[in-house]
Structure 1
Amino acid sequence: MTQAILFRFAFQFSILFLLGVVTQRSALAGKDSVPDWVRAAARQSLPTYPATTNAVVLLDETTLTVGPDGHAVRRHRRAVKILRQAGRDEADVFVQFDKESKILALHIWSIGPDGHEYAMKDNEVLERGYDGAGGLYDDARYKMALAPGRDPGGVVAYQSEQRLPGYVSEVDWHFQENIPTVAESFNLELPPNYTYGAVWAHAKPVAPIDLEHQHYRWEMKDVAGIDLAHVPMHPSGRALEGRLVIHYSGPGMPLVTGSTWQSIGEWYQQISKDRLVASPEIAAKASELTAGKTDFYDKSEAVSEFVQKQIRYFVIEMGIGGWQPHPAADIFKNRYGDCKDKATLLSAMLSTVGIHATLVLVDTNRNAIDPDAPSMFGNHMIAAIEIPKGYESPKLKSVVTAKTGRRYLIFDPTWEKTAFGQLEHNLQGGYGVLTEGADSQVIQFPVLSPMLNTIHRSASFQLQDDGSLKGNITEKRFGDVSEMRRDLYTSGNAKEQQEFLDHSLQQDFTSFKVADVKVENVESLNKELTTTYTLEAARFGKTMGPLLMVRPRVFGRQDFDLNHEPRTVPIDLRQTMQVQDDYSIDLPAGYVVDEIPDPVSVDMGFASYTSSSKMDGNTLRYTRTYTVRELTLPAERYGELQKLASVISNDEQSSAVLKKK
């Protein structure tokens, strides 16, 4: 779902550089063309930054002026200095708009490293739309420019004025980004009889300066950037970057998003309730799908899988359509829709068979939604299916209990490879907004058991005295760890499937042949995806005179790369999971084991790892289990993670030494 304006900004910005657009060189500006505020920003002394800092924001100033009718105008000034060649992209100018957020003015200036000043002309600013990629239409457009002089030592600045849509009374001030900022401010100008609320996400509150007459100003100096480029296993930047959320309201405003989770849920329900009405055709289909079923889970699963698999993901958004779903009847008739459309249709269909469901606003980046900062910030929509009172079933995994005591099964009908009853890993442990009218609230999603996300590899091999290896392999995957492979075997061609398997095995074998590949249960999400094949690998064992060295952990890596830099951000372990390996290697005739790796057992609480190599007659058997139980760790536990990584790496590289009798 791309309903959030800020999300659409980030998404479109990511494709901007694929366009390959380069503006013509602007005329050298006259002496008075570059404003004094730009020159002043360029002249100021900078703090000392690490040598890896690519660019710095010299000034970022936003002024939001709300009119008596509730419509607002945002004025924005920004100046960026490029410090390294890699920082040139930070100075690209990009301003998004649509038919309800018109750009009233845009001026762009730059000062080159040599001191030359430039003012870009209107015809040098490009305008582009986002249309057609991946079957998506969005009426959002953007103006962009690559200013001259954007080289190390250069400064690029712009000033924009933009009218905001009247159906939203919330504005986010993102005061923290990936590069540091010297000075920034947010100004709020309200008409008489208007009020505002302010909440802070991922940051300590800063008191505003009261400028009187309903004018307020928040200021910040020397804000550190959040550079995650070289930080392993880091959370999303959206889960770390600080922001101020302003909600404003006044007499006569038709739609108001207040500064509580309840008011936000009520706002969304107000714009979506008439879209949830089921048509006779919807009722008929729901009845057909649930015919003969009386159990809550069975009925919910039948309808949910229909929406998940038969309603194609396709986005059409214009204006408030970025937030408001299409009518359920249209979604059902056309058989396509975006995430909020699919959740809407699911709710409408379930209502016709006596099951209540509602919409949940989420963000696909875990912890991007701050439970202490009520806002509409998010980029996705899923469903919450109310579980009947007293109903219990071991099939219900992703369950939350609201403050009302009502229980809900959380399900994402857009995520095509997640089994009904479960929840994709990136949403687990995060937060969402349950839209239930006066009972709307923020809810935290459960962290599911590692046993619902598993890999089990088993194989029997025969080792030859020249070090070559032959064997039969079976790999079973269940849960999110099977998602990529299910997608590959559903939509990929034979060449892509073969290349993927080859690439996986190249991590452990230098020369090998694969044959008789079979894949089962690709579409059966509640069954293990099972892959079997035969393998021949030359030079697996390393000969050293009478000795032959082999790796008991034949294939399948679980190690991860970490650095030894000081850690300041939390650790994201990505997903709970359990991996089990069971391998047997029949030794060549005339060989016995001379040395064997010691068993390994370590339990860090958040994860555990055990392995064992032992002889069973003339067969070397290797078993291991790796379990991840938690999703997020504080930075101070990085040392424990480094220890675990070292244990896994050493075990995966250890060898058994065979000797001729």
Structure 2
Amino acid sequence: MKAFIISSLLLTGILSNSFAQNNWNVASIPAELKEKAHAVIRKSETIFTVKNLGEATEKNHKVITILDEQGLQYASMTLFYSKLEKVNNFEGVLYDSNGEKVKKVKKDDIHDGSAVGNGTLFGDNRYKYAEFKYAIFPFTVEFTTETTNKNLLFYPMWFPQEDEENVAVEQSSLKIQMPANLPLRYKSINGLAEPTLENIAESKSYTWQVKNLQVYENELYSPKWTRYGKGVLTAPNEFEVEGFKGSMKTWKDLGEFDNILGKGRDVLPENVQQEVKQLVANISDPSQKVKKIYEYLQSKTRYISIQLGIGGWQPFEASYVAEKGYGDCKALSNYTKALLKSVGIESFYASIRGGSNERDIHPDFPSQQFNHVIVCVPMKSDTIWLECTSQDNAFGYLSDFTSDRYALLSTPEGGKLVHTPVYKAKDNQQNRNIKVALEEDGNATVTAVTEYTGLLSDDYSDIKNLSSKEEQQKQLYRRINIPSFEVSNFSIQDEKKRIPTATVKLDLNVRKCASKSGTRLFLTPNLMSAINTVPPALDKPRQTEVVLKVALTETDSVTYQLPKNATLEFKPVGIKFENRFGTYQSEFQVKDGSLLYIRKLVRNQGKFPPESYAELIEYYKKVSKADRTQVVLKL
């Protein structure tokens, strides 16, 4: 789905009549705003003026002081535009530390380029870019832009600190001007104050303003939306894009707009219909019919992005995909729906916010918050989800790109907000069996077989799909948690089940697997799964919930064949403990010249109160200490 991209440096407004009227001397910045800051936003203004259902202008003015080299990213401006977004003005000025003007951006300084990525066949996204290359810190930059927007599916999403750490704000504001007959909806995030309202002639304006925001420090394991600081989401009730009118007053309305865009676009060529019917002719189980059609889709199509005007949201016809063999997420999902429809199986177009580390949408604020499309197939006893852009995904499996979040289904009755599957600790497993031949010098040869399931299999399935053994090995090296080793041989196999599995076999030569001191060997039995890091302590009370996103289970069975003349001088006692975050247990067994180490860790998923963070630290300290437990051998 076509992303509505606003540069983080565009949350600004109208440039004053004269640069000289402003004092950008760095000395005038309050000292507390410089603490832990690489940059300070001196002034940021945005004015978004809605003219009618289908057109608005946005005027932005931003002044930002760059304090050091780590703040240099803010010395540039990137302004995206397309067929539906026109650039009217682009200016920039550089000031020294005293606020004296050094230079202005000239027309030749502005680079104009294509914003179309390698995976896009057709696209009209472009960008204008300018930067100031200046190395006398601190200095200040000022940017002014104006655009005309004819895609009012999207209204401003305003976060003064821009989801960036080490940025302070002196003053920042957003003003939205609406015609009197068009209401504005908004949702304040993270405690932003209500807007100031003003009626002017036949319009109504909403103004949000903040001042003197110190650097916002994100808290580890915090909810994704809290990482943006104070902000606001805005949206209309009614809108228009290239002649298509719609509503987002409710999720039902927004889903109906997707129905409008897709109307009549699910017609398949007759030969494709017959081919698909033949494929499933001898299959009685509906879910197996869906599986067969999904495999047909994967074998016949590939993902290519096509983003032109309304095509950023309207799928290409199913007949186009059938003929060309490619499409973007919208086109491929629409094509899949058409294939299923041809054999009498109902399915729904599902808009979703895809991304492994993406924030989820706000379910209580109907608006266009999505960037991707998948397909939902309701069954009598199950619901099947299909990622139609992947030629490798297991049937019915959603990776961490689309699992555990909201999706908007476009049903015949309109939009319906639902939640995608959550993969639990029983689904996400790492089961490892290791054989170690330990030598007297502490070196060892190791054979390790690890089975990864569910979300934990994703990375290894991706590695398996890399084009060369050399690249696969390079990626494995980055994931093996041993200080000093060499891979002498490896293999990766995966199994495409509803909960997929990847099995990695490794032959390793490990240097100093045990540390030798005189006639003793000090061995840490947890060879590959030790947790070595502990969440940092806080110097002030935690403000946000503790969020553990992924539940998982790790089991390790490590058998050490000890040197022939070694005797066991110290064997630790196994340990077991449990709290709200998970469970941990380990045990040690010695028999016939070998040492068996068994470990099991279960991490729970969930949201926990802020005060539980101290308990989480203690939990990980306990796990880390247990993982570092040593055995002492005497030679």
Give the TM bin, normalised by the shorter chain: 0.7 to 0.9
Q: 1:511 to 1:99 in 2, by over 3 A?
A: closer
Q: Post-superposition shift, 1:616?
A: 2.9
1:452-471 to 2 correspondences below 5 Å:
452-471=427-446
Structure 1 unpaired stretches of 5+: 14-31, 397-407
1:382-397 to 2 correspondences below 5 Å:
382-387=374-379, 391-392=380-381, 396=382
The aligned counterpart of 2:522 is: 549
The aligned counterpart of 1:195 is: 183
Q: 1:548 to 1:319 in 2, by over 3 A?
A: same
CA distance in structure 2 between the aligned counterparts of 1:512 and 1:101, rounded to whole angstroms: 53
Of Structure 1 and Structure 2, the greater strand share is in 2
1:70-94 CA distance string (max 9 Å, x none) = 4222222222122222112123112
What do you get for the CA RMSD once the two structures are aligned?
A: 3.2
For 1:94, give the aligned amino acid: T
The aligned counterpart of 2:206 is: 217
1:422-478 CA distance string (max 9 Å, x none) = 322353332222222544133233422222222111022332333332343222122
> Would you say 1:360 and 2:350 are equivalent positions?
yes
1:524-563 to 2 correspondences below 5 Å:
528-563=501-536
1:578-620 CA distance string (max 9 Å, x none) = 1111111122223332212222222232322221122234321
1:2-49 CA distance string (max 9 Å, x none) = x12127x57x99xxxxxxxxxxxxxxxxxx985356547989653613
The aligned counterpart of 2:64 is: 80
Corresponding residue SS for 1:246: strand
The aligned counterpart of 1:20 is: none
Q: 1:308 to 1:609 in 2, by over 3 A?
A: farther
Q: 1:510 to 1:196 in 2, by over 3 A?
A: closer
> Would you say 1:610 and 2:585 are equivalent positions?
yes
Q: Post-superposition shift, 1:68?
A: 4.6
For 1:221, give the aligned amino acid: V
Q: Paired residue for 1:94, among 67, 75, 78?
A: 78
CA distance in structure 1 between the aligned counterparts of 2:31 and 2:407, rounded to whole angstroms: 39
The aligned counterpart of 1:145 is: 130
Corresponding residue SS for 1:145: strand
CA distance in structure 1 between the aligned counterparts of 2:580 and 2:266, rounded to whole angstroms: 45
Q: Post-superposition shift, 1:572?
A: 4.8
Q: Post-superposition shift, 1:69?
A: 6.4
CA distance in structure 2 between the aligned counterparts of 1:97 and 1:225, rounded to whole angstroms: 32
Q: Paired residue for 1:268, among 258, 281, 295?
A: 258
Q: 1:251 to 1:588 in 2, by over 3 A?
A: closer
Identify the range of structure 1 (33-42 vs 587-596) with the bigger mean alpha-carbon deviation: 33-42
CA distance in structure 2 between the aligned counterparts of 1:142 and 1:155, rounded to whole angstroms: 23
1:137-190 CA distance string (max 9 Å, x none) = 431111111136575332222222211115636443344412333322222333
For 2:484, give the aligned amino acid: T
CA distance in structure 1 between the aligned counterparts of 2:138 and 2:105, rounded to whole angstroms: 19
Over the matched positions of the two proteins, sequence identity in percent amounts to 21
- The normalised TM-score by structure 1 is 0.84
1:493-538 CA distance string (max 9 Å, x none) = 1112233334444x425244523x3333366775532233433434
Q: Paired residue for 1:155, among 132, 135, 140?
A: 140
Check conservation: 2:423, 2:455, Cα contact below 8 A: no
The aligned counterpart of 2:87 is: 103
For 2:106, give the aligned amino acid: K
1:194-227 CA distance string (max 9 Å, x none) = 3333334555561432233322132221374775
Q: Post-superposition shift, 1:630?
A: 0.5
Q: 1:414 to 1:445 in 2, by over 3 A?
A: same
CA distance in structure 1 between the aligned counterparts of 2:400 and 2:65, rounded to whole angstroms: 39
Q: 1:169 to 1:153 in 2, by over 3 A?
A: closer
CA distance in structure 1 between the aligned counterparts of 2:247 and 2:545, rounded to whole angstroms: 31
Q: 1:67 to 1:129 in 2, by over 3 A?
A: same
1:34-53 to 2 correspondences below 5 Å:
34-35=18-19, 38-39=22-23, 45-46=29-30, 48-49=32-33, 51-53=35-37
Check conservation: 1:233, 1:573, Cα contact below 8 A: yes
Corresponding residue SS for 2:627: helix
The aligned counterpart of 1:622 is: 597
Check conservation: 2:568, 2:632, Cα contact below 8 A: yes
Q: Post-superposition shift, 1:334?
A: 1.6
Check conservation: 2:586, 2:600, Cα contact below 8 A: yes
Check conservation: 2:78, 2:130, Cα contact below 8 A: yes
Q: Paired residue for 2:115, among 127, 130, 140?
A: 130
Identify the range of structure 1 (616-625 vs 172-181) with the bigger mean alpha-carbon deviation: 172-181
Identify the range of structure 1 (182-191 vs 326-335) with the bigger mean alpha-carbon deviation: 182-191
Identify the range of structure 1 (33-42 vs 377-386) with the bigger mean alpha-carbon deviation: 33-42
Q: Paired residue for 1:479, among 454, 459, 473?
A: 454
Check conservation: 2:39, 2:65, Cα contact below 8 A: yes
> Would you say 1:62 and 2:46 are equivalent positions?
yes
Q: Paired residue for 2:249, among 248, 255, 259?
A: 259
> Would you say 1:306 and 2:296 are equivalent positions?
yes
Q: 1:236 to 1:433 in 2, by over 3 A?
A: same
Identify the range of structure 1 (375-384 vs 542-551) with the bigger mean alpha-carbon deviation: 542-551
Residues matched between the structures, number: 619
Corresponding residue SS for 2:460: helix
Structure 2 unpaired stretches of 5+: 11-15
Q: Post-superposition shift, 1:553?
A: 1.4
> Would you say 1:6 and 2:5 are equivalent positions?
yes
CA distance in structure 2 between the aligned counterparts of 1:659 and 1:492, rounded to whole angstroms: 47
The aligned counterpart of 1:577 is: 552
The aligned counterpart of 1:520 is: 493
CA distance in structure 2 between the aligned counterparts of 1:217 and 1:126, rounded to whole angstroms: 34
Check conservation: 1:201, 1:372, Cα contact below 8 A: no
